Amino acid sequence: MPSTILITGANRGIGLELVRRLKGRGDRVIGTARNPGKAKELAALADEVVELDVTDRKQIARLSKSVGRDGLDVLINNAGVASRRTGKLETLDEDEFEEVFRVNALAPMLVTRALLPALRAGRRKIVMNISSQLASIANNTGGSSYAYRASKSALNQLNRCLHNELSPEGFVCLAVHPGWVRTDMGGPEAHLSVEESVAGLLGVLDAAGPRTSGGFWNYDGTALPW
Ligand SMILES: NC(=O)c1ccc[n+]([C@@H]2O[C@H](COP(=O)([O-])OP(=O)(O)OC[C@H]3O[C@@H](n4cnc5c(N)ncnc54)[C@H](OP(=O)(O)O)[C@@H]3O)[C@@H](O)[C@H]2O)c1
Tell me what the pLDDT averaged over the chain comes to. Answer: 96
At residue 156 the predicted structure's pLDDT band, cuts being 50, 70 and 90, is very high
Would the CA dihedral through 22, 187, 33, 113 be positive or negative? positive
d(CA 125, CA 107): 19
pLDDT at 86: 66
- Best of 18, 34, 83, 193 to mutate for ligand 1, by most ligand atoms within 8 A of CB? 34
For residue 82, the CA-to-ligand 1 centroid distance in Å is 8
- Best of 18, 63, 81 to mutate for ligand 1, by most ligand atoms within 8 A of CB? 81
Find out whether the beta carbon of 202 lies less than 6 Å from any atom of ligand 1.
Answer: no
In three-state secondary structure terms, 164 is helix
In three-state secondary structure terms, 5 is strand
* Atom number in ligand 1 closest to CA 185: 20
Q: Where are the beta strands (DSSP E) in 34-114?
A: 48-51, 74-77
pLDDT at 85: 78
d(CA 181, CA 160): 25
Cα radius of gyration (the chain):
16
pLDDT at 197: 98
Residue 127 parent element (H or E)? strand 126-130
**Exposed (0-12), middle (13-18) or buried (19+): which is 201, by Cβ within 10 Å?**
buried
- pTM of the complete model: 0.98
